Amino acid sequence: IKYLKDLNGHKSTNDLRTAFIKCSALETYMSWLYYKSKNDDDAKQLNNGTIPDEFLRSMFYTFGDFKDLYFDTDISKKDENMTKVKTKINNVLQKNGQNDDKKRKEWWDTNGPKIWKGMLCGLTYDIKPKGKQTNVLKQLNQKYKYPCDLEMFAS
């Protein structure tokens, strides 16, 4: 959540979107590194354009966590860092006239798919060579594009 923690009140909703994308991509990348260290055979599926089911499920949960953070519906233990992040998100939204529920939903409907694509990008970050990385990312974007069941899952 580093990029969200670094937000200040002078930032725009575009900066907020960028922070969410960077945080979710980094979270996905770090989770993938751990996952593939424990599941080498499954990890090979990614090079063929398929996210292993178990890891895809964890991506859905991660996406839902970021959505909960945005809407301040996080039911996990309230800690100091998360409280600071939520305050910073609220400050950016208030400054930009986006703090009512309808506008928050509109922002998420527009930016949720971009956050998901950021997660896919984070997942493919260390595929070598870079040409193969681009091809795998294209496959993943086509196969796992922001589906409505992801949104329903994260609701």
The CA distance from 18 to 117, in Å, is 12
3-state secondary structure string across 69-114: HHHCCCCCCCCHHHHHHHHHHHHHHHHCCCCCHHHHHHHHHHHHHH
pLDDT at 153 over 50: no
pLDDT tens-digit map of 89-143: 888 888 777 777 888 899 999 999 999 999 998 888 877 766 677 777 778 877 8
pLDDT at 88 over 80: yes
Give the global pTM: 0.84
CATH code for residues 2-154: 1.20.1310
Which pLDDT band holds residue 152 (cuts at 50, 70, 90)? very low
Q: What kind and span of H or E run contains 17?
A: helix 13-38
Report DSSP state, residue 1. Answer: -
- Give residue limits of the domains in the chain: 2-154
